[in-house]
Structure 1
Amino acid sequence: MVAEAEPVIDRITLTSAYDGFRLSAWHLAARSTRRGGVVVLHEVFGLTPHMADVMQRLAAQGYDVVAPSLFDRIEPGFLRSNAQEGIAAARATPNAQALGDMHAAFARLGEGPHFAVGFCFGGVMAWIAAQHLDGLAGAVSFYGRRIIEELQAPLQCPVQMHYGDRDGSIPLSDVAQVAARYPAAAIHVYPAGHAFCREGGSNFNPAARDLAFQRTLAFMAGLAR
């Protein structure tokens, strides 16, 4: 029996609500009965095979998926293997600009419910989307380090969060502070390091990744009803 090929991800262009900038993005249509739409928000490395894998997983569960390239103003199609270059790009990306880019991505999805799912830098972006963008059904944040700096605004939708207890960049005291400030947020901690979902990375933990994805899909399905 021949294995079914993964659907090809489309390359699209979005027009930012922040400044009219035209940024690139990936799009993948739902592969089963449609549940809604998801904006996937990338790590500091840009749109990598890891983000493509996340999109495939979500599309298989009935979600239309768009992943905007949030560092396109720095370099079109930004893609790096060096974390320091990606961190510099993240620092050069204002929240207001990212929110305008995300707004364009959500507009591309059509009818809701709409969700944000982000990793590392993208985990912070999912968090600020939950604080500042209207109309989201929910947001899922994976190991967003800078969330500790974004505790002023209330959440406008349910949020689920995933952290590793061995993450050298996010102390558990930060996680506890987020939990105390936002008791309604669903926070899960795993015996893992930073970026435990990225296959091929030094901290990849398949058991933690699989459990986190199961929880993510259950969280979204419960809100999409």
Structure 2
Amino acid sequence: MQIELTAADGHTLSAYVAGPQDATRGLVVAQEIFGVNRHMRRVCDDFAKAGYAVVCPALFDRTQRGVELGYGPEDVARGRDLRATIDPGKTVLDILAAAAALPKAARRGIVGYCWGGTVAWHGATRTSAFAASVGWYGGGIAAAKDEQPRCPVQLHFGETDASIPLSDVEAIRAAQPGVEVFVYQGAGHGFGCEERGSYVQKDAALAQERTLGFFGKHLL
């Protein structure tokens, strides 16, 4: 189901919602650079099946509404161009609007993928809205590694990710010894997306198991 959100600066954006609205645990799901597309809706539906109320804000609505891209080279280029137009501070306002749309009684977490992995890190370090944060292959986390999380954080990276070298991952580990960091041997960027050539089912399943376990522990 689609709803409309209003951020603190008056910007209106759409969001995909799923899951029981009387849930005691809620998640903001932060998109990849491909918009709130079929894959992101599947991710949301999977969390909903696990009992979470889910809100996935359309972060590209700041620039263009209704963006749903595929995973070809032209889609990647378009997604990167769109992301470059978005002020990270405005994205924080959008995830806060999404958090406010979760059930009031729910403990709130945030999880993000690709660009959204960095957004989830910002949700942990730049807001106090979340009780736990999980980021999958967030390429911008290393640049913000010295920001201090205000909630427990878990991060997932692929060993062979061409856009996130292992030196970045190790720098994050060194800067944030309290953060859980997992590296998946042989996996590349986007290993959790079933529509990408880099998809690795076993690694995606393990990362999801760890994600659900982390939220199960911290969203009590």
1:181 aligned residue: 175
1:205 aligned residue: 200
Which of residues 70, 83, 91 is equivalent to 2:59? 70
User: Residue by residue, what CA displacement relative to the aligned partner does 1:20-73 show, whole Å, maximum 9, x if unpaired?
Assistant: 111011011239x83410000000000111111111111111110000000012
SS in 2 for 1:72: helix
Identity %, equivalent residues: 36
| 1:107 lines up with 2:96 in the alignment | no
2:83 aligned residue: 90
CA distance in 2, matches of 1:69, 1:34: 22
| 1:42 lines up with 2:38 in the alignment | no
2:164 aligned residue: 170
AA of the residue aligned to 1:74: T
Q: Kindly state the Cα deviation for residue 95 of structure 1 after the two structures are TM-superposed.
A: 1.3
User: Residue by residue, what CA displacement relative to the aligned partner does 1:152-194 show, whole Å, maximum 9, x if unpaired?
Assistant: 3211000000000010110000000001001111001102110
Aligned residues: 214
SS in 1 for 2:61: coil
Q: Kindly state the Cα deviation for residue 74 of structure 1 after the two structures are TM-superposed.
A: 1.5
SS in 1 for 2:210: helix
Which of residues 43, 57, 80 is equivalent to 2:46? 57
| 1:23 lines up with 2:13 in the alignment | yes
AA of the residue aligned to 1:83: V
User: Residue by residue, what CA displacement relative to the aligned partner does 1:90-119 show, whole Å, maximum 9, x if unpaired?
Assistant: 121111100001110000002231010100
Segments of 5+ residues of structure 2 without an aligned counterpart are none
| 1:137 lines up with 2:131 in the alignment | yes
8 Å Cα contact 1:39/1:65 also seen in 2: yes
CA distance in 1, matches of 2:149, 2:108: 15
AA of the residue aligned to 1:26: Y
AA of the residue aligned to 1:30: P
AA of the residue aligned to 1:14: L
CA distance in 1, matches of 2:111, 2:144: 17
> TM-score scaled by structure 2?
0.94
Deviates more, 1:110-119 or 1:120-129: 110-119
SS in 2 for 1:23: strand
SS in 2 for 1:146: coil
8 Å Cα contact 1:30/1:61 also seen in 2: no
Segments of 5+ residues of structure 1 without an aligned counterpart are 1-9
| 1:11 lines up with 2:5 in the alignment | no
> TM-score scaled by structure 1?
0.92
SS in 1 for 2:178: coil
AA of the residue aligned to 2:180: A
- Say what the alpha-carbon RMSD is for the aligned residues: 1.3
CA distance in 1, matches of 2:23, 2:50: 8
